[in-house]
Amino acid sequence: MEAGLPDRLHHAPSGKPAGIVHLGLGAFFRAHGAVYVAEAMEASGGDWGIIGVSLQSPGTRDRLKPQGWAYTAVEMGPAGESPRVMTILRDVLVAPEDPQAVLDAMALPDIRIVSLTVTEKGYCLEPSTGRLNAAHPDIVHDLANPLPKSAPGFLVRALQARRDAGVAPFTVLCCDNLPENGRVLRGVVLDLARLIDPALADWIAAEGAFPCTMVDRIVPATTPADLDRLAAATGLRDAAPVLHEPFRQWVVEDDFVGGARPDLGAVGVQLVGDVTPFEHMKLRMLNGTHSALAYLGNLAGHETIADVAADPVFAAYAERLWQSEIIPALTPPPGVDLGDYAGALAARYANPAIRHRTWQIAMDGSQKLPQRILATIAESRAAGRDVPGLTLAVAGWMRFASGRDEDGAAIEVKDPLAPQLAALWQQDAGATVAGFLALTQVFPEALRRDAGFAGDLTAALSGLVARGARAMAAAV
C-alpha cells in the first residue's frame, strides 16, 4: 500500500493560476462545491482551481499537503461505496499563521470568486437580526488591525486591496445554510466596510456581487475507521477523505461580477433568478427536521440520523413535522412537489451507509435554530397554526444545551453560547424557558413576547424531563 495519495497536483498542470479562493475548507465544501467546480472544468474548461483557506487550525492543510492537495471523495449509497480522487485544490493556506498570505491570494486579479463555508457563527452576526455584531471580539480586532481574523474581515480587507490596486472585486459566494445568505453576507460586509472606510463600502455596494445560494448534500464526519476501510479498499492511505451521500443539489442566483464563473449549469447546478423558495424549502424541511431529530434522537440515545430514522416513533414524528407544520408555511419552488421532497428526505435520512451523528448536527444550536425552526414557528403562530412538534424540537435543544442527557450523563455542548445556556438551566421549567426566551440573539421578538408560545414550550420541556424524548415525540 502506498503511504499516501500521489503528488498529483500542487499547481494546475497548465501552470495557470487558480480562479477561486475558498474560506473554510471543511469536509462539506470538499464533498460538494469543489466536486461541482472540478466537473465544470472537465466539461467546459476554464482556470477555476481552488486555493483553500483554513481560518482556524492547520489540520486540514497538514493532512492534504503531503498528498499534493489531492483527496478522495467517497459516495456512500445503500449498495456500496464509490471513491473518486479529487485534484481541484491548488494550495491550502492557514489564516492564523499568515493572514497576509491569505489577503495576497484573495487580491490576485485571477481570483474571480471567493466562496465560503464557515458555518453560521463564522459571519459574526446576530442570528435574530442578521446584522453584523460589531461587539464580536473578532470584529473588534479587525476594526483595529489591517490583518484580520474573521471571515468578514478577510473579505473587506481583500476587497480594499483590490480597489486600491484598481482591480475589480471578486464575487462573494456564500455556501452556508443561512436564509438569503448572499444578502445577509452583503449586509455584514458593507456594515464592516462602512466602519473602516465609507467610500470602500460604496464601491463594494456598486461593483460587487453576492449571489444567494442553496446547498444540499449530507456529509458525515470522517472517522479513523473510515480511513482504514478506504485504505483497504483502494490501496492508498488518504489522510483527508470526505464521505457523502449520492444526492446533491446546488441552486445559485446567476449574478457574478463580469459574468465570470465556471460552467456550473453544465454539471447540474440550478442557475436561477431567485433562490429564496429553494432555500426556505431546504432550510426548513431538511435542516429543520435534521435539527429536531438530532436533539430529540440524541436525548433518546440514538447515535446517528439513520438510527433515528429507523425508529418508527421518530420517523412518524418527522412525517408529522413535514405534513402538518412545515409544508403549510412554505411556498414551493417552481415545479417542486413538497410532499415528494419530504419523501425523498425520509429516504435519505434512512440511508444506512451515512453515519451522520446526531451530536454533530446538534452543534451550534443557538446559531442554527433561528432560521431552521424558529422562523417557521413565528410565521405559523402569526397565522394561527399550532406547531407542537417544532415547539418540542426547541425544548429538545434546551434540554440538550443543559449538558446532561436523560440518564444524567454529560453531553459535550459545542455552541458559542454554551456556558450561558448551561447557566440558564433550572429545576423549574417555566424559569428555564423564561431565561432562554430572554436571549435576544436567538429568539425573534415575536416569540419572546408570545405568552402562548412560552406556555407551550414550558409544557414541552416539562414533558421531556418527566417522560423522555421518545415518549414526547410519540405524543405530538
Structure letter (DSSP) for residue 84: E
Residue ranges with strand state E in 27-104: 50-54, 71-77, 80-86, 89-94
Task: For 346-386, write each residue's pLDDT tens digit.
Answer: 999 999 999 899 999 999 999 999 999 999 999 999 999 99
Question: Rounded distance, CA 420 to CA 81, Å?
Answer: 42
The verdict on 213 and 226 lying in the same domain is: yes
* Residue 9 counted as domain residue: no
CATH number at residue 437: 1.10.1040.10
Residues 212 and 65 in one domain: yes
| The domain boundary residue, chosen from 222, 252, 272 | 272
CA distances 108 to 21, 23, 115, 192, Å, are: 10, 15, 15, 22
Name, in order, each residue with C-beta under 8 angstroms of 144's C-beta and a sequence gap of 6 or more: none
Structural domain total, the chain? 2
User: Could you say which of 238, 272, 306 is where a domain stops?
Assistant: 272
Residue after which a domain boundary falls, among 272, 300, 319:
272
Q: What cell numbers appear for 362 in the block?
A: 446538534
Asked if residues 352 and 78 have their Cβ atoms less than 8 Å apart, the reply is yes
- How many residues make up the chain in this entry? 476
Q: DSSP characters for 246-258?
A: S--EEEEE---GG
pTM (two decimals):
0.86
pLDDT of residue 5: 56
What's the mean pLDDT when you consider all of the chain? 94
Do 308 and 428 lie in a common domain?
yes
Pull the grid cell for residue 373.
425552526
pLDDT tens per residue, the chain (476 residues)? 444 555 443 333 445 579 999 999 999 999 999 999 999 999 999 999 999 999 999 999 999 999 999 999 999 988 889 999 999 999 999 999 999 999 999 999 999 999 999 998 999 998 777 899 999 999 999 999 999 999 999 999 999 999 999 999 999 999 998 889 999 999 999 999 999 999 999 999 999 999 999 999 999 999 999 999 999 988 989 999 999 999 999 999 999 999 999 999 999 999 999 999 999 999 999 999 999 999 999 999 999 999 999 999 999 999 999 999 999 999 999 899 999 999 999 999 999 999 899 999 999 999 999 999 999 999 999 999 999 999 999 999 999 999 998 988 999 999 999 999 999 999 999 999 999 999 999 999 999 999 999 999 999 999 999 999 999 999 99
User: CATH no. for residue 81?
Assistant: 3.40.50.720
In a domain, 105, yes or no: yes
Crossing angle of helices 375-382 and 451-467, in 10° steps, is 130
Instruction: Give the separation between CA 452 and CA 198, rounded to whole angstroms.
Output: 44
Distances (CA, A) of 50 to 44, 91, 162, 259: 16, 7, 19, 18
Do both 314 and 247 map to the same domain?
no
Structural domain boundaries enclosing 240: 20-272
Say how far apart CA 299 and CA 439 lie, in whole Å: 23
Q: Read off the pLDDT of residues 426-437 as tens digits, 9 standing for 90 and up.
A: 999 999 999 999
